């Protein structure tokens, strides 16, 4: 992300426990396209079930949306700090 894109996400206080999850535009498009088929998946590695959604931004250069979440288990992020990315791992479920 470039500095302009990073400025879209405001960290309101020092020590906020945030992470970002990148989601590709292609995946988002597939979720909303009539007739699209999404295979059944299980999340193998991801966010804690009680993580709270707190915002979003996007990167045109990466063609990715970033979803931001707060949870007590995440490392604190100082004001103006870089929010860590969490990659979600999926496993296809056989029909």
pLDDT of residue 66: 93
Q: Please report the DSSP string for 38-70 in residue order.
A: ---EEEEE---TTPEEEEEEEETTTTEEEEEEE
Has residue 14 got a pLDDT over 70?
A: no
Please give the model's pTM, rounded to 2 decimal places. Answer: 0.74
26-53 pLDDT tens trace: 888 888 888 887 778 888 999 999 999 9
Q: Where are the domains positioned within the chain?
A: 3-85
Q: What burial class does residue 17 get, using C-beta atoms within 10 Å of its C-beta: 0-12 exposed, 13-18 middle, 19+ buried?
A: middle
């Amino acid at each position: 992300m470039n500095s302009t894109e990073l400025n879209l996400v405001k960290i309101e206080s020092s020590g906020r426990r945030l992470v970002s999850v990148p989601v590709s535009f292609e995946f988002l498009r597939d979720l909303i396209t009539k007739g699209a088929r999404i295979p059944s998946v299980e999340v193998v590695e991801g966010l804690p079930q009680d993580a709270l959604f707190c915002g979003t931004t996007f990167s045109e250069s990466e063609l990715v949306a970033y979803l931001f979440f707060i949870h007590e288990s995440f490392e604190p992020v100082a004001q103006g700090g870089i929010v860590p990315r969490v990659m979600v791992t999926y496993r296809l479920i056989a029909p």
